[in-house]
Amino acid sequence: MKRMVVALVVVLLFSSSALAADYYPPYTGEPVTLTMWAWTSNENYSIEEFQKAYPNITVVWEDFAVHYNKAQTALAAGSGLPDVLMVEYSFAPQFMDLGAFQPINKWLDVETFVELYGEIALGWCSMDGQIYGTPQDSGANGFFYRKDIFDKYGLTVPTTWEEYAEQARKLKAAAPDLEFAAPPLGYALVWVGMIWGAGGKMFDYHDGNWYIDFTNPIAEEFFEFWGELFDEGVLDIQMWWNADWYSSLNLGKTASVIVGCWFAEWLRYNALDSEGQWRVAVPPFISADQPHNGMIGGSGFYVTTHCKNPEAAAIFVNWLNSHPDSLRCLHKYSNLPIMVSTRYAEILEEIAGPDEFFGGQNIVEELWKAHQLVDTTFVGLPIWSNMDTALSLLIQDYVDGKIERFADILPLWEQQVINTMKEFGYDNVIVGRLP
């Protein structure tokens, strides 16, 4: 009996390590140094842990801020890209299309990818069946709100968009100086992400063709919804990512923000005066029986065409974004609450706990719920920065009064996007429907 138990344990041990070995094959090549560009508040990108597992691969990490301009220049110059590049999911198709990445299917095939990261993530890290990288953090929308303002004015966390409008009106009536929320003037990721949260989309890529349809019913309904609130003066549009916006969050002039769950890290570093006042919740749904969620941001790590040793790079990006040792590190040092990898569930119990900045709330648990509700996906257009600029200008025109209805922005935006796609030489664009 005892021998059988021992045999069973040995077999189990072997099989589990064999399974693990399936995901992380040993590296049999020459010792190599990989370079990586990534941004974060982290001092350590799990690199030490990785080098314990793979002593022959050294990783050198350079922390630039968002480095897309530099990456594009290096790409055009023909050299200068690092081996591994961090790119947000929405911008990745642009780089994939420009030929900035090389496929790593040889070392990370589709089946393994789906097992480790889920099928949805294929839309962010692959195109036409070629896998270029692995996803790291989830940008699942979260509803970040100031508990002190909510308590003071008797507001409740909205669970549907109707309730959201109600609460916004309530706050405006009680405190005209404060904003319930300040949607961004531009920053297309948020607008696309909120429509994603309603289960919709405005563009996609399928079978070699790009599909564009900005004026579909879900998008129109959404922009009408916001337009009503803006016209009533209940919500104000504000430019994000500048000192004015941070100070409005810090000083409590804005009561809530809907943005990707990685925002927890940003709040921690930029809104220090408001420590302890913020909470998170799952964002409101279109209606209680249609629970969806979308993503705003979140980044993947891709292997570039300038990489001379794609095998080592593929091993690194896979290990970095799925091995529990690495995920633990990323969570602890990058303060990223949720990672995309399915293996994150393995350490969830261990790392989820009360968070001081959020007044003791277990934000990992809450945001994991939000992440699980992301059940649709689509591929971003390869001209994201142009799309972004176009939206900024249109929303500015709306604020200036040159565009009457907020929903009128959609057809104008669509037209500009189509023109830009043509200008950049895309003749495989299908307008008016989505796959």
Partner 1 sequence: MARINTKVPWFRKMAWFGKKTTWMNKKKLISTLKAYAFLAPFLVLFVGMVIYPISLGVRLSLYGQRGARMWYIGVENYQRIFSDTRFWESFKTPLFLLGVQVPLMLFLATLISLAYETRKNSGVVYRFIYYLPYTIPGIVAGIVWSYIFSDSMSPLRPLLDLLGYSGTKILTRPNVPPILLVIILWEFTGYTAFIVYSSLISIPKEFSEAAQLDGAGFWQIAFKIKIPLLRDVLITLFIFNAIGAMQVFNEPYMLGGLVVLPNNYTPAMYIYSSAFSQGRFTYAAAMGMILACITFVISLYVLRTAARNVLRSRS
List residues near partner 1 by CB under 8 A.
68-69, 72-73, 75-76, 78, 97-100, 185-186, 239, 242-244, 247-248, 251, 305, 385-386, 389, 392-393, 395-396, 400, 424-425
User: With respect to partner 1, which residue has the nearer C-beta, 18 or 77?
Assistant: 77
Nearest-approach distance from CB 242 to partner 1, in angstroms: 5
Contacts of 187 (CB under 8 A, 6+ apart): 240, 241, 388, 391, 392
User: With respect to partner 1, which residue has the nearer C-beta, 146 or 371?
Assistant: 146
User: With respect to partner 1, which residue has the nearer C-beta, 160 or 389?
Assistant: 389
Token pair of 173, please?
């009536």
Token pair of 363, please?
């934000």
User: With respect to partner 1, which residue has the nearer C-beta, 14 or 241?
Assistant: 241
Whether 306 and 83 have beta carbons less than 8 Å apart is answered as: yes
What span, in angstroms and rounded, lies between the C-alpha atoms of 295 and 196? 7
User: With respect to partner 1, which residue has the nearer C-beta, 7 or 251?
Assistant: 251
User: With respect to partner 1, which residue has the nearer C-beta, 207 or 400?
Assistant: 400
Strand 57-62 with 278-281, pairing: unpaired
Whether 303 and 102 have beta carbons less than 8 Å apart is answered as: yes
Closest by CA position to 279, among listed 139, 140, 145, 150: 145
Query: How big is the CA angle at 281 (ends 280 and 282), to the nearest 5 degrees?
Result: 140
User: With respect to partner 1, which residue has the nearer C-beta, 31 or 80?
Assistant: 80
Contacts of 415 (CB under 8 A, 6+ apart): none
Contacts of 377 (CB under 8 A, 6+ apart): 120, 121, 122, 123, 124
Nearest-approach distance from CB 99 to partner 1, in angstroms: 5
3-state class (DSSP) for residue 293: coil
Nearest-approach distance from CB 238 to partner 1, in angstroms: 9
Euclidean distance between the first and final Cα of the chain, in Å? Answer: 58
Strand 141-146 with 256-260, pairing: antiparallel
